[in-house]
Amino acid sequence: MVLFGKNLSVQRCLTFATGLVECLCFAGAVFGWASLVFVLKSENYFSSLCVNTTESNGTQVLDCSHQDEQFSLVFTTASFMNNFMTLLSGFLFDHFGTMVTRFCAVSFYTTATLMLAFGNPALSNLLFPALSFLAVGGIMFLITNMQVGNLFGSRRSTIITLYNGAFDSSSALLLVIKLLYESGISLRASFLFLSACGVIHLLRTFFLLPKKFIPYPLPDDYTYGITCGKSQTRNIENRAEKSSTEDGLEETPLNRSVPQTQVKSFRQCFLSWFFLWHMVWLSVMQLRHYFFIGTLNPMLQHLTKGDPSLVSRYTNAFAITQLCGVLCAPWNGLIMDRHKGKPRAAGESEREADLRASVLSLFLTALQCVFFSVCATTAYLPLQYLTFILQVINRSFLYGGNAAFISVAFPSCHFGKLYGMVLALSAVFALLQYPCFALVKGALNGDPLYVNIALTLVSLLAFIHPLYVYLHCRKLSSQRGASGSY
């Protein structure tokens, strides 16, 4: 008997809703690092790195710059693992499917929360593996959930971006833990609760997700879930063939006589200009965001002159704005899906129409990053409220647009590998955040102005990607016009 009987729409709605909750409440928790740092400092993690120093006027002060540097290194390591391990997660997902990947995700996530629950200042270095496991488990949850967009056809990009927005908003989880901590609830109790939630993730894996994949395009009789019948097996076996038929005909109308060998290999996709400029687009903006998140606490310390109440207020404001990511991200998906249901130009393939629709999304994301970076560079404390808003909007557009572009620009059979590859390579680039932080703390005496200006200029490279896609689409349009004139 098929789960939920004949009312498959109920199952699909439950899959969508629970996936949204999972991404919103768990997946991207590591990016709420600024809230957790505030608590960890109160718990005296890495406090042995603080030393008494004497200023030029003879005043004794406590210098905790090395403590801040160590916390920054923890986040640098975790954010690197979040992206780099996505490569292995993508290969794992493409080769073994949803269930195996989610078992790994639950294992990593639960291990992380248990480490954080039973950690203490004497085991401060345990933060390195704990935050890394939290990041890797969270990104695996996101990868397995993005395929849910395949269940909803014309709104595929909207759902992919919505899930990525929910992933961004889940950083507010650590704000909740911070507020609970200030109300008297220990870190141990909070993280033990998160560990127990692993049971919910397992139940969802068995009942509301397929064992292997959700194919695209979706067959009419497609079913999934632990109690599904033979139709699921048939559909899963046909997934690669159907994906090839859809995605393999790169720039020509659908023609059944065209051999399936036109499907691009993973190597061809990886070495394409599309992938190269997309990687640059993601990497430069991601570095800007990671440096901002990783240095938020010391930046607020600098702008507030060490006032703990002001630091706490702005930290809370930053974390609260992260909740808006789930509201911002779908707008990017709607931009990319705006052409769905409308007639295409004569001879225009669906892939070409999708690429043309993505140009505006890619351009707006790069423009948002420049505005956000300029605000972050301005050393005026009240302006940081606007910085927080621009940051969450841009981050939502960035990661949702990243996944959506890969899904429309390349064959779906390579999605997991390419998604993992672009994040892994961007993670290597993001390691520059740590030497940037060390430069600020050292030679620049805590003033990040020059580093922020440099990152703003580097972020301008992101405009190359939408320009390249636009010129590519215009070239295809010209070729169609020339062939139609004969």
Give me the domains of the chain, ranges plus CATH numbers: 10-52+61-227+265-477 (1.20.1250.20)
Q: Transcribe 116-129 into DSSP letters.
A: HHH--GGGGGGHHH
Residue 69 is given by DSSP the state H
The angle formed by the CA atoms of residues 131, 136 and 139, to the nearest 5 degrees, is 125
Q: CA 176, CA 25: separation in Å to the nearest integer? A: 10
- Report the pLDDT value the prediction gives residue 470, as an integer from 0 to 100: 93
Q: How far is CA 3 from CA 6, 131, 227, 467, in A?
A: 8, 37, 6, 47
Q: What's the gap between Cα 17 and its chain centre?
A: 19
Coil, strand or helix at 399:
helix
Q: CA 300, CA 315: separation in Å to the nearest integer? A: 8
Are the C-beta atoms of 366 and 395 separated by less than 8 Å? no
- Report the pLDDT value the prediction gives residue 467, as an integer from 0 to 100: 96
* Rounded (10°) CA dihedral 57, 59, 65, 67: 170
Amino acid letter for position 420: G
Are the C-beta atoms of 473 and 359 separated by less than 8 Å? yes
Q: CA 362, CA 464: separation in Å to the nearest integer? A: 10
Q: CA 34, CA 301: separation in Å to the nearest integer? A: 12
- Strand ranges (E), 227-355: none
Q: CA 210, CA 224: separation in Å to the nearest integer? A: 5
Look at the chain and count its residues.
486
Q: CA 192, CA 194: separation in Å to the nearest integer? A: 5
Query: Could you list the mean pLDDT of each consecutive 10-residue stretch along the chain, which spans 486 residues?
Result: 50 90 90 87 88 74 82 87 83 87 95 94 92 93 88 78 84 89 92 94 91 79 63 43 40 36 78 92 92 84 85 86 79 77 72 85 95 93 93 88 86 80 86 84 80 93 95 86 60
Tokens representing 294 are: 């990783």
Are the C-beta atoms of 400 and 161 separated by less than 8 Å? yes
- Report the pLDDT value the prediction gives residue 93, as an integer from 0 to 100: 86
Q: How far is CA 370 from CA 3, 70, 292, 454, in A?
A: 48, 29, 13, 12
- Report the pLDDT value the prediction gives residue 234, as an integer from 0 to 100: 43
Contacting residues for 327 by C-beta, under 8 A, at least 6 apart:
165
Q: How far is CA 104 from CA 107, 110, 141, 367, 467, in A?
A: 5, 10, 10, 37, 39
- Report the pLDDT value the prediction gives residue 3, as an integer from 0 to 100: 39
H helix or E strand, kind and range, residue 52: strand 51-54
> In the chain, what is the greatest distance between 2 CA atoms, to the nearest angstrom?
87
H helix or E strand, kind and range, residue 51: strand 51-54
Using only C-alpha atoms, what is the Rg of the chain? 23
Are the C-beta atoms of 161 and 329 separated by less than 8 Å? yes
This prediction has a pTM of: 0.72
H helix or E strand, kind and range, residue 11: helix 8-22
Are the C-beta atoms of 143 and 101 separated by less than 8 Å? yes
Are the C-beta atoms of 14 and 7 separated by less than 8 Å? no
Half-sphere exposure of 52 (CA within 13 A, CB side): 3
Match 């949702």 to its residue by tokens: 400
- Report the pLDDT value the prediction gives residue 239, as an integer from 0 to 100: 45
